[in-house]
Amino acid sequence: MSIITSALATVSVPAGHCALEYRRGRLSRTLTPGQYRRRRTATYTWVDMRARVISVAPQEILTAEGVSVRVTVALRATITDPVAFVEQSNDPWSAIYLSAQVALRDSCASVSLEDLMARGDAVDMGVVLAAARTVGATVGVTVAEALLKDVIVPSEIRSAATELISAKARGLAKLETARAETAALRSLANAGRVLDAHPALAQLRLVQEAPHGTRLVLSVGDAAQVGDTAAAQVADDD
């Protein structure tokens, strides 16, 4: 918003703006984008009608446990009544800003630190939006949206949270390792039972695992005969 007194013969209002023309301290007309003939003794106040984002500076807020955190909020707003915006307050944005601050503090007071850190929707931003809209309506501003941007917790709490997450991850890794080892032992036990019940499979497995170059002697008969034959062959070789 700016007030301009010009000696030019015309007044040009750019797109996305409007101009309020005052003569002798009274509003004489509202100028939309375009070019107009300038009136003598008139002053013009330019108003930016484009949508904008108002960032509320980080606020020190106490959670339900009494822990101090810093929270940042952004408001998306548009000037819809330039006359009210200029005439009802000397600093309309600060009025909206303050209402959002107070509502944010009240909304966070009932939220636990854990919920605040874990979920972006833990804070009821509807309360903040309603408060900003109420004040905005009195100064010609329509607030379309209120967003929670950042939650900044003390460094010691961040460190503790990081350690907790790391501990959970290590515990899960150990649990998965134990499960894998249990499954492997169970598989070995099942294989042992199968080999006990079927000696021929044990002999076949022995043949499969024998290294390259191993001399094998095969004999037709039961396991005992095979063992005796193999032993006799070894003795003959000696």
For residue 211, which phi and psi values (nearest 5 degrees)? -70, 165
Residue 235 is predicted with a pLDDT of: 44
Residue 160 is predicted with a pLDDT of: 60
Give the contacts of 9 (CB within 8 A, at least 6 positions apart). 37, 38
Q: Give Cα separations from 146 to 53, 102, 133 (angstroms).
A: 10, 14, 10
Cβ count within 10 A of residue 121: 8
Q: What is the pLDDT of residues 1-49, one digit of tens each?
A: 555 544 568 899 999 999 999 998 899 999 999 999 988 889 999 999 9
Superfamily of domain 52-153 in CATH is: Band 7 domain (3.30.479.30)
Q: With H, G, I as helix, E, B as strand and everything else as coil, classify residue 88.
A: coil
Residue 166 tokens read as 């790391």
Distance CA 238, CA 147 (A): 89
Give the contacts of 122 (CB within 8 A, at least 6 positions apart). 111, 112, 115, 116
Q: What is the pLDDT of residues 157-193, one digit of tens each?
A: 656 656 665 677 777 788 888 888 888 888 878 877 8
Q: What is the pTM of this model?
A: 0.61
Helices (H), the chain: 82-87, 92-108, 113-118, 125-138, 155-197, 199-209, 223-237
Q: What is the pLDDT of residues 200-220, one digit of tens each?
A: 776 777 777 777 777 766 665
Q: Where is mean pLDDT largest: 91-105, 111-125, 130-144, 194-208? A: 130-144
Residue 1 tokens read as 């918003």
Residue 164 is predicted with a pLDDT of: 62
pLDDT value at 145 more than 80: yes
Q: What is the pLDDT of residues 55-95, one digit of tens each?
A: 888 888 777 777 778 888 899 999 999 999 999 999 999 99
Q: Which of 88-97, 105-114, 216-225 has the lowest mean pLDDT?
A: 216-225
